[in-house]
């Protein structure tokens, strides 16, 4: 059912207000943490966590979007490679709310983003030039080894870019290269963020974003079996979480606000 015009307008206004809050919080937190940024990398990571908390607050208060984190028991005490599904901008910041000092594989272009780019550089994130192709993977592995030797966990989005909730999986070999070269176990992370927070546009939709950590994949597998295990676990859990989010959205369809999520198109969201 298509929501009435008044409801769509209200959703747009709420979404616009949230975008203003999102970037205002980024600038405010970034400026507030500048002294910490000058002192140490770990203190700089505190800015990312503070911005993440501000985003979660704004989602709940402005948009009616809740955050639920499941499967924390699957996160071991030691280092891991976190292989996360990627549907929206949200999880790139939310990871800092769960892991203490992660090194996330980001595209290099983010370095030029005001404030966020500064902190990507200062917190030692793994910035990749995707145009370099095979050279990018070699460079990533070299720098990831240096980061891992410092005791940090690595986070990678195995598909390399945001994907719509119904897009077919497109896993790339980078995660297998890290798994093989670093000798660290992998924890898959499924999610449904794209239902409430589409990759493009400013509209956001009421619901619950769920991040779910899945059982650990131990070291020692060959690349083929490893990739098959990762994809099966992640895609199965993600499909379940997306269906859960849509069922909740349908339950809200006749509510007073009607600020529910439509079914996103089954295409690569870039």
9 against 213, higher pLDDT: 213
Average confidence (pLDDT) over 210-214: 98
User: HSE on the CB side for 124, CA within 13 Å?
Assistant: 19
Look at residue 258 and tell me if it is in a domain.
no
The predicted-structure confidence for 116-174, as pLDDT tens digits, reads as follows 888 888 888 998 877 666 678 888 999 999 999 999 999 999 999 999 999 999 999 99
Look at residue 226 and tell me if it is in a domain.
yes
Look at residue 239 and tell me if it is in a domain.
yes
- The residue among 46, 142, 139 whose CA lies nearest residue 100 is 46
Q: Which residue has the tokens 């949200």?
A: 90
The predicted-structure confidence for 58-77, as pLDDT tens digits, reads as follows 999 999 999 999 999 999 99
Average confidence (pLDDT) over 37-51: 85
Look at residue 269 and tell me if it is in a domain.
no
pTM: 0.88
Q: Report the number of distinct structural domains present in the chain.
A: 1
Does pLDDT of 270 surpass 70? no
Give the confidence band of 259 by pLDDT, cuts at 50, 70, 90.
low
Look at residue 268 in the predicted model and tell me its pLDDT: 40
Tokens representing 101 are: 């000092």
Mean pLDDT of the chain: 88
Q: Which domain holds residue 59?
A: 5-251
- The residue among 199, 209, 191, 202 whose CA lies nearest residue 64 is 209
35 against 233, higher pLDDT: 233
Look at residue 262 and tell me if it is in a domain.
no
Which range (112-116, 177-181, 217-221, 260-264) has the least confidence?
260-264
* Domain CATH number, residue 182: 3.40.1130
Average confidence (pLDDT) over 103-124: 85
Beta bridge partners of 155: 82, 104
Look at residue 107 and tell me if it is in a domain.
yes
Look at residue 229 and tell me if it is in a domain.
yes
Look at residue 68 and tell me if it is in a domain.
yes
Measuring CA to CA, how many Å separate 37 from each of 92, 118, 150?
A: 19, 9, 19
């Amino acid at each position: 059912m298509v929501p009435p015009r008044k409801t769509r307008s209200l959703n747009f206004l709420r979404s616009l207000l949230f975008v203003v809050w999102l970037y205002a919080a980024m600038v405010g937190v970034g400026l507030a943490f500048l002294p910490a940024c000058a002192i140490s990398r770990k203190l700089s990571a505190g800015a990312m966590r503070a911005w993440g908390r501000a985003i979660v607050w704004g989602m709940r208060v402005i948009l009616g979007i809740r955050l639920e984190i499941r499967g924390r028991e699957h996160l071991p005490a030691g280092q891991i490679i976190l292989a996360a599904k990627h549907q929206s901008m949200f999880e790139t910041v939310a990871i800092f709310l769960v892991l203490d000092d992660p090194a996330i594989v980001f595209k290099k272009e983010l370095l030029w983003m005001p404030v966020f780019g500064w902190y990507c550089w200062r917190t030692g994130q793994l910035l990749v030039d995707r145009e370099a192709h095979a050279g990018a993977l070699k460079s990533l592995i070299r720098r990831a080894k240096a980061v891992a030797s410092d005791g940090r966990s690595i986070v990678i989005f195995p598909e390399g870019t945001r994907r719509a909730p119904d897009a077919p999986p497109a896993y790339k070999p980078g995660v297998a290269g890290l798994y093989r070269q670093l000798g660290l176990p992998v924890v898959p992370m499924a999610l449904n963020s794209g239902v409430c927070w589409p990759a493009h546009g400013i509209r956001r939709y009421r619901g619950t974003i769920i991040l779910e950590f899945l059982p650990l994949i131990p070291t020692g597998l060959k690349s083929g079996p490893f990739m098959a295990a990762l994809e099966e676990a992640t895609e199965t859990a993600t499909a379940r979480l997306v269906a859960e989010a849509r069922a909740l959205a349908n339950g809200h369809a006749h509510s007073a606000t009607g600020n529910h999520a439509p079914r996103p198109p089954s295409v690569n969201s870039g």
